[in-house]
Amino acid sequence: LSLSLSLSPRRPKNPNMLSVTSRALGRFVASNTRNGGGGAPSSTRRLLSTETAKTAAKEEVKRETTEKATKKTGWWHSAEFWGGAGAVAGWGMSGAAIYDAAVQGPDIISLNMTGVLIVYSSLFARWAYIVKPQNLLLASCHVTNVAAQLNQMRRALDYKTSQGQDEEVKDITMKAAATAAAGAGCVALGPMIQSAMVGMNLGVLSSVAAADAGPFTVHFWAPMSKWLISGASFMDLHRPTEKISIAQYTALTMTGLFFSRYALLVQPINYTLCSVNIALFGSSAWHLGRKINADYIEGPTTEAEEEATPKEE
C-alpha cells in the first residue's frame, strides 16, 4: 500500500498552477518573437554595439596619442612661431620707411618699390578688414605702411623736382594717376563683369569667377600682389648700392624668409604662398647682400668715395 502510494503522481495543490505557468510561458515567447528573435539576442546586440563603440574610442585615443608622439615639435616646426615672426617683419616694413624718412636722404628711395608697397599694403589692409574673423592688427600694420610709403613717395618727388627733373616727375604723376583710375574702374565694374561671366555658364571660367576667393575678390589679389614686390626688386637689380636702403631690404628679406617657412607648416600646405615668398626672399636678399658687401666688406667704390669726400675750394 505504501509503495503504491509513493508511485502515484502527485496532484498540484493548486489546480490552476499549470494553466498560469503555461500562459506566462506563452507571453514570454510572444514577447521574444516581437523583439525580433528573443530578449537574449537583442541584449547581445546592444552589448556588442557598446563594446564596438568602446573599441573604436580606444583606437581613436591610441591614434591621437601616436600622432602626438610622432609630431615634430620645436620652433622650427611651429606654425605659430613663423606666422608671428612674419607679422613682426610686416611691421618692419613700416618701421623701415619711418626710419629712412628720419635719417636717410631722399636719394635712396626707389620709386618702383615704393609704388608697389603702396599697392600691396592697400590690398592687404582691405583684406585684413573684411576677412572673417577680422584681423585688425594686420590691417593697422598695412595702413601704417601705406602712410609711411606715401610720405616716402612725396619726398622722392620733391627731391627730383628740386634737381630740375620736372618732366620725369610729371611723367611719374601721370602714370600713377592712370594706374589709380584703372584700379578704381576695375573695382567699380568688377561685380557687373563677375555676374555676367557667371550667367554665361562657361564651365570652369564661370566657376572661377564665382569663387569666394576668385579673381574678382581681394582674397585673390592681396596675396598675388606680393609678386609685384619681387618684380620691383628685379627692376632695381643693378641699382647703385649707395641708393639701397638696408633697413627696407632687411625687412623684405625677413618677410620672405618667415612666410615661406610658415606656408609649409599650415594645413593644408600653401605652396603658392611659399613660392611667392621664396621669390621675395631671393630678390630682396640679393640687394641686401650687395649693400652689405659694398658698405662693410669691400668698402665703397671710388665714385662713391669721391661723392662723399668734400671738395676743397
Buried b (16+ CB within 10 A) or exposed e, 172-195: beeeeeeeeeeeeeeeeeeeeebe
User: Residue 138's pLDDT is what?
Assistant: 80
User: Residue 71's pLDDT is what?
Assistant: 62
Q: How many CB atoms lie within 10 A of CB 24?
A: 10
Q: Give the separation between CA 230 and CA 114, rounded to whole angstroms.
A: 12
Is this structure's pTM higher than 0.95?
A: no
The tens digit of pLDDT for each residue in 100-153 reads: 999 999 999 999 999 999 999 999 888 888 877 777 888 898 999 999 999 999
User: Residue 290's pLDDT is what?
Assistant: 93
Residue 313 binned pLDDT confidence (cut-offs 50, 70, 90): very low
User: Residue 258's pLDDT is what?
Assistant: 92
User: Residue 135's pLDDT is what?
Assistant: 77
Give 230-298 as a 3 state SS string. HHHHHHCCCCCHHHCCHHHHHHHHHHHHHHHHHCCCCCCCCHHHHHHHHHHHHHHHHHHHHHHHHHHHC
For residue 293, pLDDT beyond 50? yes
User: Residue 2's pLDDT is what?
Assistant: 47
Q: Give the separation between CA 94 and CA 309, rounded to whole angstroms.
A: 32
The answer to whether the beta carbons of residues 218 and 127 sit under 8 Å apart is: yes
